[in-house]
Amino acid sequence: MTTAVCPGSFDPVTLGHLDVVRRARSMFDRVVVGVARNAGKTPLLDLDTRVALARAALADIDGVEVAPVPGLLVDFCREVGAAAIVKGLRGGADYDAEVPMALMNRHLVGIETIFVTGDPALAHIASSLVKDVARYGGDVSDLVPAPVLPALAGAFGRST
Ligand code: PNS
């Protein structure tokens, strides 16, 4: 059985993430979505919430699991038996951010990162923008899975 890890902050999980996970699942028998801490970001949602939302959003996709990443991503990859990391690229900014991490992870343990391009119709979706829109009461219902909506509303002190 081949396993890949799809890592990310997932703060919160978006429809763009789901697209990348589905593409990873089309290449691997098993995909483990690793919800991790990004040292460069302060999350809106705590780790348990991010994991729970990703689990709810991905529950209907066979062969996909969600787990927290407690430390280094490469250690998590070894623990789950991953042959590769799969990440999505929306454009040049993603490339610039992702390549150093891919090179570092390969330096650490030799694991390769496979980059997939997602659906261009979803290329404008970023967790940071979703939060910015939701913060001011904008409609993000066509950008994120349904379980994320009450979590965002709660985080920003709004009712759904
Ligand atoms: O969704 P993001 O924020 O682009 O994902 C980045 C993430 C969380 C995958 C990355 O920061 C990460 O791997 N964090 C876990 C700790 C780690 O392994 N850091 C070294 C990365 S080279």
Domain boundaries, the chain: 3-155
Is the Cβ atom of 113 under 6 angstroms away from ligand 1?
no
Atom 2 (ligand 1): residue with closest C-alpha? 8
**Residue pLDDT, tens place only, 128-148:** 999 999 999 999 999 999 999
CATH topology for 3-155 is Rossmann fold (3.40.50)
The number of CA neighbours under 13 Å toward the Cβ of 109 is 18
- Please check whether residue 94 is in contact with residue 16, taking contact to mean a CB–CB distance below 8 angstroms: no
- Is the full-model pTM beyond 0.85? yes
Going by CA atoms, what residue is nearest to atom 3 of ligand 1? 9
Q: pLDDT-derived band of residue 156, with 50, 70 and 90 as boundaries?
A: very high
The model's pLDDT over 85-129, given as tens digits with 9 standing for 90+, comes to 999 999 999 999 999 999 999 999 999 999 999 999 999 999 999
